[in-house]
Amino acid sequence: MEFKREEFLRAVEGCLSAEFATDLERANKKELYNAVSKALMEQIYPDWEASGRSEKKRCAYFSAEFLMGRAIFSNLLNLGVLDDVTGALASVGEDLKQFEEVEDAALGNGGLGRLAACYLESAASKRLPLDGYGIRYRYGLFRQTFRDGYQHEEGDDWLRWGDPWSVRVERDAVEVRFADQTVRAVPYDMPIFGYRNNVVNTLRLWSAEPVQAFDFASFNEMRGENKAADNFNATKITDVLYPNDNTMVGKILRLRQQYFMVSASLQDVVRKLKARGKDLRELPRSYVFQLNDTHPVLAIPELLRILQEEGLSFDEAFAVCGQAFNFTNHTIMAEALEKWDALALSDLLPGVYEQIVAVQQRLESEAPADGRYYIIRDNVVHMANLAIYVCAKVNGVAEIHTNILKTDIFRDWYELYPEKFVNITNGITPRRWLLLNNPALAAIIDGKIGTDWHTDLKALKKLKPFIPDILGDFKRVKGENKAKLAAYIKEHEGVDIPPHFIFDVQVKRLHEYKRQMLNALSILYFYHKIKSGEMTDFPPTAFIFGAKAAPGYYNAKAIIKFINEIARLVNSDEEVAPYMRVVFVQNYNVSYAEKIVCAADVSEQISMAGMEASGTGNMKFMLNGTVTLGTLDGANVEICEEAGRNNNYIFGATVEEVAAIKRFYSPREIVEQDPALKRAVETLVDGTFPDEKGMLRKLHESLLTVHNPDRYLVLFDFNDYVRVKEELLRDFGSDAYYTKCLMNVCSAGKFSADRSVNDYARLIWKIR
């Protein structure tokens, strides 16, 4: 984008006066933020309009979640005006950094939603015609605080700052019909800027509204109460993001959300095609759809329904769907695969249910009748099976994950349709996750190998011969990033972390399979060794956690409480103060991640092998020069392939071993044979920590006494974990250690989302 300072400032002034009746002198932060954003939106409109006009085949990415984070800095970076705008604002005495207070758009839970956001950015940067379709939740993922170590949730009022990076497109509103209500879906379009290439794609998020505007006449006739009720029901659909990650509770409101989103999106697509005079039988020539997990899978029966309404036969409509739809699986946890009660579904969406029944009949005529292939069974509709049966391609998100799909959870389907299954290893956008969050490291790299890597991350391998030259600069930058993070943590969490400590970080959603518990127990283990005098030379380490627990997930919340208690114990102990600190940061989100990822020395990726589909945080740390302490799970496997296993710290049972161990696993025995481990585990029940609600006791039970105790092999892997962790902490600081860090940077090329979207485009979408 061409930037003219005077013109820009005039536009900001114009917006301030028109929208807020104020000026540059008097505007507050929020007004200035909105005016700066709108001034830029005005200028990019022609590019946006041009991108939308193209009749090239497009991909529509259907996702219930887009975890966009903060838009302004990333947009300025991609428009190529970050420095210009910083300078222009400085010339009128304003600091761009003040917008770091702007709320994140947290319209997603975790990995799956953030992946969708990275893919939109990468596709625009690679000039691929990809648009996102989703829901404009009024409240995003809850805001987390800790009170006495317990997680508390508050509503996330992200629109408090306004939404200057979206445009409400009233003319494209559509109606969505449920058996018991009809609502209006109004799109809000967010421009997605390619990196310095004038491409602008679109994220279209639907907001639910009542069909009729407030009816004053009927209100006067004393029917006002009913109207108010209609209004409430309609907007309720898009009120709030479900805060669950990896567990699925069949809630009718969730069903409404999902149908609302896919119906509105498909109506949008069909209307566009009809306006261009296209035969809908040819839809796959113009569009391809990617279903982001099971949440948008209702799109399949909905498109069948719409196409038949438009005059196609069932077989014709089915042929279209078979070519147009593709499905990504993001987790092997059975609890997370969407299933609906058949009665509830047919009550709410009879037309859709009818199509599912028709698909089931078609499946029965095609698949072996041995009970392995079904969509509806025992009055439950299995959305993953519907997706696999109809979709052209089904993909996992890392090699190991795709192999598990083929050999385990979807093995019957793989036997029937082997050609459908493909792997697309996840990726992250290097613009947000290096250029933007770590400009000093980016500058070091630019200085040695130029800027090709900004859009071709594989080019980072050219940095290898320069590693010895930049070791000192790398250490300095890491040190500066750590100091900044420490100051931020001091301000926001009230905990002192000396910047010269090793920053050992585990940030991700809280889940038992991710094993924050393993990390917690190891901290207690080291703490006890330091206290008893057995370890006098423990390398000073700060253990930093960040994670939200689903509000209904008891054990996850208990683990937060446990770690907060450990933090209190450790941080208030003067004897161990020279050796360790523990902090659990509140409200971990995309913006917090940007600060943490560039300041970490150790990246904890310690899920039980086979459980983490891919992980993408692991890639962010790697790109920022952090070694992985991890299991051979998800994309960790490929990280080791790329960067060398010797440049990371790998421990624990492999997937193959996990299966064998589980057959005769006795966590009791393990604890009894290991007094140090036992001591750490017993803190859950021995009065070390107050436990007035019995939460810690429940954790103890889950490890030792429940049916199927220690499901995720925390105790089994403990010894190996502690051994490798200690080795890592002792290696820290040497040139050899920092060389490992930089070997990871040089080897991160594969994990660019640019590569991922290119793979999708080539293998699945067939778009250019």
Cα 612–616–620 angle (5° rounding)? 140
Question: What DSSP character marks residue 142?
Answer: P
Among residues 63 and 455, whose Cβ is nearest to ligand 26W?
63
Q: In the bound complex, what is the minimum distance in angstroms from residue 333's beta carbon to ligand 26W?
A: 7
Contact region with ligand 26W (CB under 6 A), list: 105-113, 267-275, 306-314, 565-573: 105-113
Reply yes or no on whether 528 is catalytic: no
Site membership for ligand 26W, residue 397 (CB under 6 A): yes
Q: In the bound complex, what is the minimum distance in angstroms from residue 438's beta carbon to ligand 26W?
A: 21
Contact region with ligand 26W (CB under 6 A), list: 482-490, 535-543, 606-614, 683-691: 606-614
Among residues 85 and 517, whose Cβ is nearest to ligand 26W?
517
**Which tokens in the block code for residue 63?**
């996702």
Site string for ligand 26W, 631-660 (x = CB under 6 A): ---x--------------------------
Q: In the bound complex, what is the minimum distance in angstroms from residue 326's beta carbon to ligand 26W?
A: 15
Contact region with ligand 26W (CB under 6 A), list: 21-29, 104-112, 360-368, 691-699: 104-112
Site membership for ligand 26W, residue 630 (CB under 6 A): no
Burial 645-682 (b: 16+ CB within 10 A, else e): eebbbbbbbbbebbeeeeeebebeebbeebebbebbbe
What does the alpha-carbon distance between residue 111 and residue 414 come to, in Å, rounded to a whole number? Answer: 25
Site string for ligand 26W, 268-307 (x = CB under 6 A): -------------------------x--------------
Q: In the bound complex, what is the minimum distance in angstroms from residue 612's beta carbon to ligand 26W?
A: 5
Q: Which of 508, 511, 581, 679 is catalytic?
A: 508
* CB neighbour class for 341 (10 Å; exposed up to 12, middle 13-18, buried from 19): middle
Site membership for ligand 26W, residue 331 (CB under 6 A): yes
Reply yes or no on whether 620 is catalytic: yes
Question: What DSSP character marks residue 164?
Answer: T
Say if residues 182 and 176 touch (Cβ distance below 8 Å): yes
List 149, 210, 615, 652, residue binding ligand 26W (CB under 6 A): 615
Site string for ligand 26W, 108-147 (x = CB under 6 A): -xxxx--x--------------------------------
User: How far lies 212's CA from each of 143, 168, 208, 219, 389, in Å?
Assistant: 33, 18, 12, 13, 39
Which uninterrupted H or E stretch holds 739?
A: helix 735-746
What does the alpha-carbon distance between residue 431 and residue 126 come to, in Å, rounded to a whole number? Answer: 12
User: How far lies 550's CA from each of 109, 415, 510, in Å?
Assistant: 9, 36, 8
Q: Which of 184, 295, 478, 514 is catalytic?
A: 514
Residues 6 or more apart whose CB falls under 8 angstroms from that of 215 comprise 227
Residues 6 or more apart whose CB falls under 8 angstroms from that of 24 comprise 9, 12, 13, 16, 32, 92, 94
Contact region with ligand 26W (CB under 6 A), list: 49-57, 328-336, 653-661, 745-753: 328-336
**Which tokens in the block code for residue 608?**
């039980």
Q: In the bound complex, what is the minimum distance in angstroms from residue 261's beta carbon to ligand 26W?
A: 14
List 66, 242, 579, 718, residue binding ligand 26W (CB under 6 A): 242
Q: In the bound complex, what is the minimum distance in angstroms from residue 602's beta carbon to ligand 26W?
A: 19
Q: Residue 169: helix, strand or coil by DSSP?
A: coil
Q: Which of 184, 330, 382, 478 is catalytic?
A: 330
List 409, 470, 563, 613, residue binding ligand 26W (CB under 6 A): 613
Contact region with ligand 26W (CB under 6 A), list: 95-103, 313-321, 611-619, 749-757: 611-619
Residue type at position 547: A
Among residues 191 and 296, whose Cβ is nearest to ligand 26W?
296
Reply yes or no on whether 561 is catalytic: no
Contact region with ligand 26W (CB under 6 A), list: 241-249, 259-267, 300-308, 370-378: 241-249
Residues 6 or more apart whose CB falls under 8 angstroms from that of 106 comprise 67, 69, 140, 141, 156, 158, 241, 589, 590
Say if residues 720 and 517 touch (Cβ distance below 8 Å): no
Among residues 8 and 119, whose Cβ is nearest to ligand 26W?
119
What does the alpha-carbon distance between residue 407 and residue 89 come to, in Å, rounded to a whole number? Answer: 57
Among residues 108 and 301, whose Cβ is nearest to ligand 26W?
108
Q: In the bound complex, what is the minimum distance in angstroms from residue 173's beta carbon to ligand 26W?
A: 28
Instruction: Return phi, psi of residue 479, to 5°.
Output: -60, -40
**Dihedral through CA 690, CA 692, CA 696, CA 698, nearest 10?**
160
Beta bridge partners of 544: 505, 583
Residues 6 or more apart whose CB falls under 8 angstroms from that of 4 comprise none
List 616, 626, 628, 702, residue binding ligand 26W (CB under 6 A): 616
Reply yes or no on whether 662 is catalytic: no
Contact region with ligand 26W (CB under 6 A), list: 168-176, 245-253, 643-651, 703-711: 245-253
Q: Which of 70, 256, 401, 509 is catalytic?
A: 509
Reply yes or no on whether 330 is catalytic: yes
Instruction: Return phi, psi of residue 506, to 5°.
Output: -130, 105
Residues binding ligand 26W: number (CB under 6 A): 23
User: What count of other Cβ atoms lies within 10 Å of the Cβ of residue 570?
Assistant: 21
Q: State the residue number with the nearest CB to ligand 26W.
A: 111
Among residues 481 and 616, whose Cβ is nearest to ligand 26W?
616
Among residues 249 and 660, whose Cβ is nearest to ligand 26W?
249
Q: Which of 620, 725, 740, 755 is catalytic?
A: 620
Q: In the bound complex, what is the minimum distance in angstroms from residue 619's beta carbon to ligand 26W?
A: 9
**Dihedral through CA 674, CA 677, CA 679, CA 680, nearest 10?**
180
List 37, 51, 166, 246, residue binding ligand 26W (CB under 6 A): 246
Q: In the bound complex, what is the minimum distance in angstroms from residue 71's beta carbon to ligand 26W?
A: 21
The helix, strand and coil proportions of the chain, stated in percent and rounded to the nearest 5, come to 55, 15, 30
Site membership for ligand 26W, residue 427 (CB under 6 A): no
Beta bridge partners of 421: 394
List 207, 426, 429, 752, residue binding ligand 26W (CB under 6 A): 426
Q: In the bound complex, what is the minimum distance in angstroms from residue 250's beta carbon to ligand 26W?
A: 10
Q: In the bound complex, what is the minimum distance in angstroms from residue 290's beta carbon to ligand 26W?
A: 12
Contact region with ligand 26W (CB under 6 A), list: 18-26, 80-88, 303-311, 609-617: 609-617
Instruction: Return phi, psi of residue 147, to 5°.
Output: -125, 115
Among residues 404 and 627, whose Cβ is nearest to ligand 26W?
404
Q: Residue 264: helix, strand or coil by DSSP?
A: helix
Q: How many CA atoms lie within 13 A of 259 on its CB side?
A: 28
Site membership for ligand 26W, residue 245 (CB under 6 A): yes
Say if residues 76 and 192 touch (Cβ distance below 8 Å): no
Among residues 335 and 669, whose Cβ is nearest to ligand 26W?
335
- Enumerate the active-site residues: 330, 508-509, 514, 616, 620
Q: Which residues bind ligand 26W (CB under 6 A)?
A: 109-112, 115, 242, 244-248, 293, 330-331, 336, 397, 426, 612-616, 634
